[in-house]
Amino acid sequence: MNDVKERPIQEVIEELDLPTESKFLGYVIHLPVEDEFLAFLKETSAIVKRGFVKTPEAAKLYQSYKRALRDAGKCKQKAEPNLLFDIGTQYAAVPVS
């Protein structure tokens, strides 16, 4: 997953057959087995707290793929960064590939 290449967002929107007016919002972390999204991650020297939500619009939003990937690695469960789009009527979380 570290060898993901940057591509123009419009190209991704077309490839995924999303509405042309779709807006890229950033990245969210999806836990595919649980079908949940990371809502928060707080770390201190003594503890790590994680919270999860059922919908991508309530998830923690990242502007950096590298930061999303870093925090995905801090989850105990399988977790992967997803692209988050506002497609007009709802949000769409799409795995980075």
List pLDDT tens digits, range 24-51: 999 999 999 999 999 999 999 999 899 9
Three-class DSSP category at 83: strand
Cα 63-89-16 angle, rounded to 5 deg: 60
User: Which position has the token pair 């930061």?
Assistant: 67
Q: Binning pLDDT at 50, 70 and 90, where does residue 4 land?
A: low
Q: What is the pTM of this model?
A: 0.88
Total domain count, the chain: 1
What residue numbers bound the domain in which 65 lies?
9-95
Cα 22-26-31 angle, rounded to 5 deg: 105
Residue (of 27, 33, 36) closest to 71 by Cα position: 27
Asked whether residue 2 is assigned to any structural domain, the reply reads no
Asked whether residue 42 is assigned to any structural domain, the reply reads yes
List pLDDT tens digits, range 7-21: 788 998 999 999 999
Asked whether residue 87 is assigned to any structural domain, the reply reads yes
Asked whether residue 33 is assigned to any structural domain, the reply reads yes
Asked whether residue 79 is assigned to any structural domain, the reply reads yes
Asked whether residue 86 is assigned to any structural domain, the reply reads yes
Asked whether residue 3 is assigned to any structural domain, the reply reads no
Asked whether residue 4 is assigned to any structural domain, the reply reads no
